[in-house]
Chain A
């Protein structure tokens, strides 16, 4: 009888309300981050409003670890614009500059050739086999703004996933052990 009473007392003292509040707070933080991301996607018109530069092909302008802000408007694509595109079958976006544009009359269909500033050759080698031009549906956005170094956080987290787990573990521990 005494043992059961003790167990019931210790369960009651877990402070259900406090636990629930903490869970809801955590949920709110995650969802507000998601809301901001989706709102950015709406405002800029592209599926990835922020990308991290992964290679050195646009040096010295964009180094590995820099962040680019993208937008995508209905404006036609012109040479000199820094475009971010996905090659069919590859999921890593590439950030290069358009150097040749051929736009067809009436339909607005456009053929684009790109090249990285720091590369010696144009990107034909990067496109899919038999593809010589990029079309509008390959292009995810145009770069309009730039922040240096901030992207290193993402690069470190994706190349050494152990750091991601350590960070999430530490955050989780902080949440559970915080008194308020």
Chain B
């Protein structure tokens, strides 16, 4: 009853239980944060628009992304993964989402940013459907906690359109 083994076992079990409880509480506290992120995306230029070797449409854009994601950070946040995806509908596919750019934001100070880049990942369609296509640009974010539940959400910005002809 009072042997070393018994005491060590009791101590370990208690420590693990408390640790698990603290992780759960830390994750639960994330529910109380007030999140007000904002973002704006502008297409500055269509660099080129043509068929790539496999025969699918490909377009290269230069984007201007402004965002303020500072309110997403809580004390339990390890990093925020932000990415911009183009969403559009074609006759064959009810939904297409192509990720154009992503970034890992490790700290609150870096979460308010303005960046001008061309798309990091190729914007390739499955087919030839991009000419004259209307599409949305959505800024998604994925809050990865130090422990516990992960949160993801997005802002949808619509009204973008690709040119009617290759160039």
* Residues on A facing B (Cβ under 8 Å): 60-62, 76, 78-82, 97, 99-106, 111, 117, 122, 143-148, 174
Contacts and interface: CB of A to CB of B under 8 A. Distances in A.
Contacts of A146: 144-145, 147-148, 150
B78 interface: yes
A145 B149 CA distance: 4
Given A99-B121, A101-B95, A104-B94, A79 B148 contact: no
Contacts of A100: 97-99, 121
Given A79-B85, A111-B126, 8 more contacts: A78-B97, A79-B98, A97-B81, A100-B98, A145-B150, A146-B145, A146-B148, A147-B147
Interface residues of B, number: 33
B96 A101 contact: yes
Residue among A60, A79, A101, A147 with most chain B CB within 10 A: A79
A77 B23 CA distance: 28
30 contacts: A60-B104, A79-B83, A79-B98, A79-B99, A79-B140, A80-B81, A80-B83, A80-B85, A99-B121, A100-B97, A100-B99, A101-B97, A102-B96, A102-B97, A103-B93, A103-B94, A104-B93, A105-B92, A105-B94, A117-B104, A122-B121, A143-B150, A145-B27, A145-B148, A145-B149, A146-B144, A146-B147, A146-B148, A147-B147, A147-B148
Contacts of A105: 91-94
Interface in B131-166: 140, 142, 144-150, 152, 154
A103 B90 CA distance: 10
Contact of A103 (B96, B106, B147): B96
Contacts of A61: 78-79, 81, 104, 144
Contacts of A117: 81, 102, 104
Contacts of A104: 92-94
B152 A80 contact: yes
A176 to B, nearest CB: 14
B126 A102 contact: yes
A97 B11 CA distance: 39
Contacts of A60: 78-79, 104, 106
B130 to A, nearest CB: 13
Contacts of A81: 152
A62 B147 CA distance: 11
Contacts of A62: 144
Interface in B64-106: 78-79, 81, 83, 85, 91-99, 102, 104, 106
A174 B6 CA distance: 11
Which A-B residue pairs are the 10 nearest by beta carbons? A99-B99, A105-B94, A79-B97, A101-B97, A80-B140, A103-B95, A61-B144, A79-B85, A102-B96, A145-B149
B93 to A, nearest CB: 5
Contacts of B150: 82, 143-146
A61 B104 CA distance: 9
A104 B154 CA distance: 22
Nearest to A68: B150
A60 B106 CA distance: 9
Contacts of A148: 146-147
